[in-house]
Amino acid sequence: QTVVTQEPSFSVSPGGTVTLTCGLSSGSVSTSYNPSWYQQTPGQAPRTLIYNTDTRSSGVPDRFSGSILGNKAALTITGAQADDECDYYCVLYMGSGIWVFGGGTKLTVL
Amino acid sequence: EVQLVESGGGVVRPGGSLRLSCAASGFSFDDYGMTWVRQAPGKGLEWVSGINWRGGRTGYADSVKGRFTISRDNAKNSLYLQMNSLRAEDTALYYCARDYGGNWEDAFDIWGQGTMVTVSS
C-alpha cells in the first residue's frame, strides 16, 4: 500500500522561508497526482491553501505557493509569520477515486 | 454564505450503526462532488469516501469499504454517510467537504466543522 510521506515537523524563523514536501513511499509525485495542501490550527477545520499542484485557493496570500520539486510536491511559505505555526497536510489522488493524505507536518515558527 | 454543517455524531457501541448528515447552503449543491474526511483524536486527516454531483459514482477508502455507504439528496442539499459495523478505530471527527468540481477528484475547497463519532463499549 502506497504511503504519502511528509516531514513530521519543521521549524522556521519569523520572516524566513520554509519548504514542506509531500512524497510517495514508492515512486515520484507528479501533477497527475493532483497534489493539494491544507492548513489546520488546533480545534479548527482544515483550510484549503493550494490545489492542482500550484493554484492558490481563494483568499490565500501569495506567501504560500505550491510546486513539484524533484520527485515530490512542495509547499513553500515565504515571510513566515507567527500564525503560520500549525499543521500542514498534503493529499494525493491515487486514481480510481482514491485520495491518500500524508501524515502532516507540524510547523514551528521561532 | 457558503456553508457545510455536519450532524449525527455520537457514542455508539462496537458493531453498531450511525448515519451522519451534512447540510449544504449558499451554493448549488448539485453542481459539486462531495467527500467525507475523518480525523482520529490527536491524529492526521484520513480520506473516507467521495461521491459525484449526481450520486451515480462513489469511492471508498479500503478501511471503510463494505461498511460505510455515502449518498446524497440533491433536493434536500444534503450529504450522508451510513456507517455500519463500527469499530473502535472509526472513532474520529468526521468532516464533510466540497470538491472544486463535479466529482471528488479535484480537491476539497469548503469544509464543515465536523461531527464527532465515538465507538466504545
Cell of residue A97, nine digits: 477515486
State residue B68's pLDDT score.
98
Residue with cell 455520537: B10
Please name the member of A57, A96, A100 whose beta carbon is closest to the beta carbon of B109.
A57
Tell me the residues of A at the B interface, defined by beta carbons under 8 Å apart: 1, 34, 36, 38, 40, 45-48, 51-52, 57-58, 87, 89, 91, 93, 96-104
Nearest CA to A48 out of A15, A72, A22, A75 is that of: A75
- For residue A1, pLDDT beyond 80: no
> Distances in Å between the alpha carbon of B20 and those of A57, B16, B96?
27, 13, 10
A97 with B50: Cβ contact below 8 A = yes
Cα(A80)–Cα(A64) distance, integer angstroms? 9
State residue B106's pLDDT score.
86
Burial of A26: CB neighbours in 10 Å, binned 0-12, 13-18, 19+: exposed
| Segment A13-35 mean pLDDT | 97
The answer to whether residue B83 scores a pLDDT higher than 80 is yes
A63 vs A76: CA distance, rounded Å: 8
The pLDDT tens digits of the residues spanning A53-99 come to 999 999 999 999 999 999 999 999 999 999 999 999 999 999 999 99
Alpha helices per DSSP H over chain A: none
Chain B residues with CB-CB distance to A38 below 8 A: 45, 108
Band (pLDDT 50/70/90 cuts) for residue A25 is: very high
SS3 category, B93:
strand
Q: Which residues of B touch A90 (CB under 8 A)?
A: none
CB–CB of A52 and B59 under 8 A? no
Q: Determine the average pLDDT of the residues in B83-91.
A: 98
Give residue B103's pLDDT.
Answer: 84
What is the reported pLDDT for A2?
A: 84
Per-residue pLDDT at B21 exceeds 90: yes
Least CB-CB distance to A97: which of B105, B106, B110? Answer: B105
- B43-71 average pLDDT score: 97
Sign of the CA dihedral B109, B115, B120, B121? negative
Residue range B71-83: mean pLDDT, rounded: 98
Question: Rounded distance, CA B107 to CA B25, Å?
Answer: 19
- The values of phi and psi at residue B74, to 5°, are -65, -25
By the 8 A CB rule, do B92 and B118 touch?
no
What is the per-residue pLDDT for B102?
83
Minimum distance, in Å, between the CA of residue A42 and any CA atom of chain B: 10
Residues belonging to chain B? 121
> Taking all residues of chain B, what is their mean pLDDT, rounded to a whole number?
96
**Interchain pair A46, B113: CB under 8 A:** no
- CB spacing of B105 vs A101 below 8 angstroms: no
Three cell numbers at A66?
Answer: 505550491
The helix or strand, by DSSP H or E, that contains position A20, with its residue range, turns out to be strand A18-24
- A57 min Cα distance to partner chain B (Å): 7
Would you give the DSSP letter of residue A31? G
What does the longest C-alpha to C-alpha distance in chain B come to?
40
Residues of B in contact with A60 (CB under 8 A): none
Question: What is the mean predicted confidence (pLDDT) over B28-47?
Answer: 97
In this structure, are residues A4 and A99 in contact, taking their beta carbons and an 8 Å threshold? no
The minimum CA-CA distance between B61 and chain A, rounded to whole Å, is 7
**What pLDDT shows up at residue B16?**
98
In sequence order, the 6+-apart residues with CB closer than 8 A to the CB of B37 are A46, A101, B45, B46, B47, B48, B94, B95, B96, B97, B108, B111
When CB atoms are compared, the residue of A52, A97, A101 closest to B44 is: A101
| B32 pLDDT above the threshold of 90 | yes
